[in-house]
A = this chain, B = another copy of it.
């Protein structure tokens, strides 16, 4: 029997795709095999398959900013199928969108690319008070559409944060029972902090920690600046001499703040900017130990060929095949 076991173990080791994928899965010891299977799917798809790095295409701007601001620059993007195809052709790990956009292509692209259903969204037609998105989907809808994960946005620093934390808590429990992955967009915003504070290093690190404590498998935050927002935090950063001078150092600190590097943290591309600036940012994310990028406007607002070329260059940086 000992021999039989040895055979199993050797063979298993040989045939296993990506030791890094296995290593990352091992951090999620409380999750059932269904959730781990979907987490593996996200890591085993696209050009970065097996590397433990991520480039995800998110398209919720139609809901968040309106159609013209999102798609007029590249009108092909009005058609929901465009984004499935773009994510697939570029070799992204996954495509994330609200209910309507996924419904409009999920059958046509069934099985082609892992999907993430965004379960809450804010529109820009009303902007009074502290932000709180509307619930726009459900875990059962994610199963119906063949998704691997649910996505959810929290706004720490909003007066309505508890509402959001309570919602994601409930959705997380259900998603984990049903074998799905939970991706949390953690964007501090609201009357608790200043505008600059939204990307302050202390605030972004804190936002990552909150998402992890709420049970997220994957956390998305913004690349942090060197600004420190909170006085109580400032004292600690100075006393402990936490290095936050370069972006790579700040990324490293955010990753550390996400359970000592044992949760997947990815970074948003933010507003459209020059391509070379994005590549610099991606290099810093990579060098700081970040797990990848989620890039919306900077990809789908470019013409298709340019977008694919752009996304592949980003992937090459993460894969280590480009500087």
With known contacts A34-B144, A144-B179, A125–B29 Cβ distance under 8 A: no
Q: Which residue of chain B has the shortest Cβ distance to A138 in the bound complex?
A: B173
Any chain B CB within 8 A of the CB of A33?
A: yes
Q: Are B216 and A100 in contact (CB under 8 A)?
A: yes
CB pair A72–B213 under 8 Å, yes or no, is no
Q: Are A30 and B30 in contact (CB under 8 A)?
A: no
Give A158 to B127 CA distance when docked, in angstroms. Answer: 9
Give complex CA distance A65, B233 in Å: 9
Of the candidate stretches A257-265, A278-286, A311-319, the one touching chain B is A257-265
Mark out the residues of chain A between 124 and 142 whose CB falls within 8 Å of any chain B CB in the assembled complex: 124-129, 132-138, 140-141
Are A110 and B37 closer than 8 Å at their CB atoms? yes
Which of B30, B100, B123, B209 is the one whose CB lies under 8 Å from A62?
A: B209
In the assembled complex, the Cα of A43 lies from the Cα of B232 at a distance in Å of: 36
Copies in the complex: 5
Residue A223 is within 8 A (CB to CB) of chain B in the complex: no
Per-position contact with B for A277-309: 1 when CB-CB < 8 Å, else 0?
Answer: 000000000000100000000000000100000
Say which residue of B65, B72, B137 sits within 8 Å of A240 (CB atoms).
B72
In the complex, the answer to whether B157 meets A85 with C-beta atoms within 8 Å is no
Let me know if A214 and B136 touch, CB within 8 A: yes
**Cross-chain contact A215 with B36 (CB below 8 angstroms):** no
The residue on B at minimum CB distance from A75 is: B4
A310 at the binding interface (Cβ < 8 Å): no
Residue A166 lies at the interface, judged by CB distance under 8 Å to chain B:
yes
Which residues in B have their C-beta under 8 angstroms from that of A1? 75, 78-79, 252, 256, 260-261, 289
**A81 interface hit (Cβ, 8 Å):** yes
In the complex, are the beta carbons of B30 and A215 less than 8 A apart? Answer: no
B-side contacts of A7, CB under 8 Å: 76, 82, 304
Find out whether the CB atom of B213 lies under 8 angstroms from the CB atom of A169: no
The interface on chain A, measured as residues whose beta carbon lies within 8 A of the other chain's beta carbons, has a size of: 137
Please report which residues of chain A, range 4-46, place their CB below 8 angstroms from some CB of chain B when the two chains form the complex: 4-5, 7-8, 11-12, 14-17, 21, 25, 27-41, 43-44
Check if A157 sits within 8 Å of B126, measured CB to CB.
yes
Give the docked Cα–Cα distance between A150 and B230 (Å). 31
Task: Determine if A99 is an interface residue (Cβ-Cβ < 8 Å).
Answer: yes
Contacts of A105 in B (CB 8 A): 29
Are B103 and A215 within 8 A (Cβ)? Answer: yes
Which 6 pairs across A and B sit closest by C-beta, in order of nearness?
Answer: A40-B111, A37-B146, A126-B192, A79-B260, A33-B106, A29-B107
12 A/B residue pairs, CB under 8 Å, sorted by A: A8-B82, A33-B144, A34-B147, A66-B209, A123-B156, A124-B206, A125-B206, A126-B193, A134-B166, A135-B162, A143-B178, A146-B179
- Residues of chain A having any CB pair with chain B under 8 Å: 1, 4-5, 7-8, 11-12, 14-17, 21, 25, 27-41, 43-44, 62-63, 65-69, 72-73, 75-76, 78-82, 84-85, 88-89, 98-112, 121, 123-129, 132-138, 140-141, 143-147, 156-159, 161-162, 165-166, 169-170, 173, 177-179, 188, 190-193, 202-203, 205-210, 212-216, 230, 232-233, 236-237, 240, 242, 252-253, 256-257, 259-263, 289, 304
